[in-house]
Amino acid sequence: MVVTSDADLASAPSREHADCYVLKPHGDYLHETIRNTPAELAELEPGMTTELQEVFDRYGLLVLGYSGRDEALSNALRRRTSRYGLYWVARAELTEHARGLVEALGGRPIVRQSASEVLGDLEHGP
């Protein structure tokens, strides 16, 4: 299940009943819902904000391909109360924004050259 908006949330099965549940809080260019200007990134749709906060609070997180710069996601991450870990993947050193979030949340940075390398690590195990 791919969720890109509050409208998608209204018709989506619960995340616990989906084989795969992907949240795209910035929308999707295929549906012409993409959000990318500073004003658009400052605030998410209310339902998406609630859904993200629940995911952030209930589960461990593996962050791939996110700079930590947009205000709405950063704020939601900073409010995270999960007892599960946070791992942040970057190609090199974390950006200042990402480093601040990782430190604030007690997360761990992981340096890999690509997301596929990380996912391969997970698939093949230690």
pLDDT band at 117, cuts 50/70/90?
A: confident
Encode pLDDT of 27-55 as tens digits. 888 877 888 888 888 899 999 999 999 99
Angle in degrees, CA 48, 71, 79, rounded to 5? 70
Domain spans of the chain? 1-58, 61-126
Query: What pLDDT, on the 0 to 100 scale, is given for residue 122?
Result: 80
CB 40 within 8 A of CB 49: no
Strand intervals (E) in 13-117: 22-23, 61-63, 86-90, 108-111
pLDDT band at 123, cuts 50/70/90?
A: confident
Q: How far is CA 73 from CA 40, 54, 113, 116, 125, in A?
A: 12, 13, 24, 23, 30
Look-up of token digits 């997180």:
61
Residue 125 has pLDDT above 80, yes or no: no
Half-sphere exposure of 26 (CA within 13 A, CB side): 16
Encode pLDDT of 52-99 as tens digits. 999 999 999 999 888 888 889 999 999 999 999 999 999 988 989 999
Q: How far is CA 124 from CA 86, 117, 118, in A?
A: 20, 11, 10
Residue 126 has pLDDT above 80, yes or no: no
